Amino acid sequence: MEAELKSKFEDIEIKLISSGGGVFEVSLNSDLIFSKKGLNRFPEDGEVEKLIRENLN
């Protein structure tokens, strides 16, 4: 997912931060935009990209 997002969003910094306990979170400009823990599921295909695009505007 990291490589796919980097290819689609070349102008923003994307970094993978390892964590434990099944945590999967996506933040943009320090704002949490997706949390596996909060939603109790992994993101659907294209969901993270859509959330990034929505929050960039």
Q: Does any domain span residue 36?
A: yes
**Structural domains in the chain (count):** 1
Task: Please tell me the chain's helix, strand, coil percentages from 3-state DSSP, rounded to the nearest 5.
Answer: 35, 15, 45
Q: Render pLDDT for 5-54 as a digit per residue (tens, 0 to 9).
A: 999 999 988 888 888 888 899 999 889 999 999 999 999 999 999 999 99
Q: Does any domain span residue 26?
A: yes
Q: Does any domain span residue 57?
A: no
Give Rg (Cα) of the chain. Answer: 11
Q: Does any domain span residue 24?
A: yes
pTM of the model: 0.83
Q: Does any domain span residue 53?
A: no
Which domain, by its residues, includes 27? 2-46
Q: Does any domain span residue 35?
A: yes
